[in-house]
Structure 1
Amino acid sequence: MSGKALIENGHPYFVPTDSLEDASSQWPQGYLSFSHYDYLGLSHHPAVTAAAKGAIDRHGTGVGASRLVGGERLAHRALENDLANFIGVGGVLSIISGYLTNVSIINHVLGPKDLLIMDDLAHNSIVIGSKTGKFATLTYAHNDLEDLARILEAEAGNYGRVLIATEGLFSMDGDITDLPRLLEIKESHDAWLLLDEAHSFGVLGATGAGLCEHFDIDPGRIELIIGTLSKSFAASGGFICSSAEVIEWLRFTLAGFVFSVGLSPATVAGAHEALNMLRREPERVTRLRANSRYFLSRARATGLNTGTAVGEAVIPVLFDTPEQCVFVAEALMQSGIYAPPVIHVGVPKDLPRIRFFLSASHTEADIDRVIAKVAEARAASTRAPDRISAE
């Protein structure tokens, strides 16, 4: 199946990427994906896939019920304990969906007398979580912690609990939160913090332990840290990090856990082996960082707009119009590079972009190839704007 045939369905989404992989030989340099967040290059690693297959052979394909009512497997607690040890927190609770994790926890810890203050570019799961309860909600300008401080100064005294929600590494912009300043503000107002590290674990810090390791900060200073297994850990599902006491309370009370099925044996085993490999091979984080910095420097040297990205796994390239963005994405597809456009969902309408996910498995040649193609297509779009609009 060609890139052209795939886009002729009217849009560049829901592309069956296994078909692209199967058709790799049609492109001189093969098929190349920058659309998947396999940051450490572990999703096809023989040790990870073998662990998942072995778990299916021993335990079957599912766990059959929620862990509270149907029992759990030893592997569930083993993964959670090792994640807690790796991140440096008191405990971890894994949940069937990363998205569900934020949606569930915010409503669970806040009540009618409480206030949620979130970064205005926080992930949609936080936004939806903010709408599920009867608490008040405010936003502060993206990464503007002085704006947050002003809001807290004016509003914190009017509420019981105050929860600040933000991301560690922002999934659409590739920038990070100034955690030392954020904790200073939080603690001076006796607020709580929910830090979404979905894109941080396996990426930030010398060993991939996240934003706290990046800034050399004790993660115990953060009330709730949210992670996912679908990125660096090459599986699916989410998890909550907190003190051991809070995690034990959540095991019996959090609706998103109590009323959802437990992670499948294959998911647990694959994610656990990915975690083990990260701990054994921290050089994967180093390689990912080198690739990310190389992509950022090459993109900027070519005149591409990468916004506020810091060069850590997620790097957007911004375009002038949605039409130009789609045009470049289609040109990439025609050359065997899959990186779909983001033009309305999850980003401001005036900031269309292609979001590139870097991996430890990418090479500098891969990066040079994609940068050259983006620059070529962007130049072509500026020479023929009328044709782009018509398309």
Structure 2
Amino acid sequence: MTKAQSSFLKFAERHFRLSGKALIENGHPYFVPTDALEAQSDQWPDGYLSFSHYDYLGLMHHPRTIAAAKAALDIHGTGVGASRLVGGERRAHQRLEADLADFLGVGGTLSIISGYLTNVTLIGHIAGQRDLVIVDELAHNSIMMGCRGGKFGFMTFPHNDLEALDQILEEHRATYGRVLIVTEGLFSMDGDITDLPRLMEIKEKHDAWLMLDEAHSYGVLGSTGRGLCEHFGIDPRRIELAVGTLSKSFASSGGFIAADADVIEWLRFTLPGFIFSVGLSPATTASAHTALEILREEPERVTRLRATSRSFLKLARSAGLNTGDAIGEAVVPILFPTAEECVFVADALMQQGIYAPPVVHVGVPKDLPRIRFFLSHTHSQRDIERAIRVISAAVSEFRNKEMRPVAE
């Protein structure tokens, strides 16, 4: 091993240790082969149950989405072979993007191979040296990374504190040419939402642009799953940029941008993450498009998801569990006072065949460890009652153990 390799390994080990390695040294619930758990489902009396996947509308295993992906493979092969700008695109790309735009009520959409990449590449492309980007402090890491690499001004405001945002704009707006506000529709770590009507007032008052990350809200919020704008009854064309993902409600993978048609056409020729990346694969495009078709045909899936989510939230709160500010829309976290308790409960769930891994240190503040529960159209009332029962018993066991006097 060279000196450089040795120093690099020490660097990695040190940062792994600082990020919480001690919590997982004796076994951990991450990178679990969930297909193996599914195959061994009969080892648990009530079978295997996952709350760790955001298949909100239950379309990942729908016969139509699977059949569409298979047919696309047979006709078009496994990939598209190049970026769409230099290698040409497929008519399936055009049809998916047109139908997404129609569904969301916007001028156009542009699909990109990675949801994470969509945020990273878009923010720096929009904002320049004389501009300011202001972001909710709990926005997704992809948004933060898109900001940290830019040459523009960058500030954050306290989570969902729109009065603080208004004050920042009062103090700093005149200093910058353009201002972009970035926040999320449904926050994936907390299950809460932005007060969009108030945000629109602030945005328009200060002549700012808004970029709304609806990764977790499309297919979830609103009576027919059209996101935060439908939830609040706001015309989506009033928002400059919205970002979505195909990996959640649309049961596939990749991301997309929704905006005015002229903006989308400009991005098709200029956005680095699009023009230097390969297009969506045929199977990915077909499965996502079919999921969109099913959502449009069966909006009752959104209604069922909402009822299931709110039932989970109600049961959790009735059991004395801390769900923070979650509103009961697909994502409900349960927060714990310590990382040790959080890991203990996650392990207790796994022992009963319920996969819901803990979130500690990475992605959330160190004093707010949690287990996120992603609810799905496929979850039954029995499923959520089972989960709450196991969590409650595990919490009681852990706290009773902690209160026992240490033997002399």
- Fold equivalence (TM over 0.5): yes
Task: Give the structure 2 partner of residue 175 of structure 1.
Answer: 192
1:133 deviation in Å?
Answer: 1.1
CA distance in 2, matches of 1:8, 1:26: 26
CA distance in 1, matches of 2:386, 2:81: 46
Aligned residues: 381
5+ residue gaps, structure 1, are 1-6
Task: Give the structure 1 partner of residue 323 of structure 2.
Answer: 306
1:385 deviation in Å?
Answer: 2.5
The answer to whether structure 1 residue 371 and structure 2 residue 388 are counterparts is yes
CA distance in 1, matches of 2:205, 2:59: 41
Task: Give the structure 2 partner of residue 266 of structure 1.
Answer: 283
CA distance in 1, matches of 2:399, 2:48: 26
Q: Report SS of the residue matched to 1:130.
A: helix
Question: 2:223 pairs with 200, 203, 206, which one?
Answer: 206
Task: Give the structure 1 partner of residue 164 of structure 2.
Answer: 147
Q: Deviations over 1:163-221 (max 9, x none)?
A: 00000000100000000000000001000000000000000000000000000100011
The answer to whether structure 1 residue 382 and structure 2 residue 399 are counterparts is yes
1:8 deviation in Å?
Answer: 8.8
Task: Give the structure 1 partner of residue 150 of structure 2.
Answer: 133
The answer to whether structure 1 residue 234 and structure 2 residue 251 are counterparts is yes
CA distance in 1, matches of 2:195, 2:162: 8
Q: Deviations over 1:131-163 (max 9, x none)?
A: 121001011110000000000000010001100
Question: 2:27 pairs with 10, 25, 28, which one?
Answer: 10
CA distance in 2, matches of 1:9, 1:56: 42
- Structure 2 residue identity aligned to 1:288: L
The answer to whether structure 1 residue 87 and structure 2 residue 104 are counterparts is yes
- Structure 2 residue identity aligned to 1:196: D
Q: Report SS of the residue matched to 2:247.
A: coil
Larger radius of gyration: 2
- Structure 2 residue identity aligned to 1:32: L
Task: For 1:318-337, list aligned pairs within 5 A.
Answer: 318-337=335-354
CA distance in 2, matches of 1:171, 1:130: 19
CA distance in 1, matches of 2:88, 2:251: 25
Flag as ranges the 4+ runs of structure 1 deviating above 6 A: none
CA distance in 1, matches of 2:159, 2:150: 23
Residues 373/20 of structure 1: CA separation in 2 closer, same or farther (3 Å cut):
same
CA distance in 1, matches of 2:314, 2:225: 22
Q: Report SS of the residue matched to 2:243.
A: strand
Task: Give the structure 2 partner of residue 3 of structure 1.
Answer: none
The answer to whether structure 1 residue 285 and structure 2 residue 327 are counterparts is no
Give TM-score, length-normalised by structure 1: 0.96
CA distance in 2, matches of 1:353, 1:346: 10
The answer to whether structure 1 residue 41 and structure 2 residue 58 are counterparts is yes
User: RMSD over aligned Cα, in angstroms?
Assistant: 1.0
Task: Give the structure 1 partner of residue 47 of structure 2.
Answer: 30
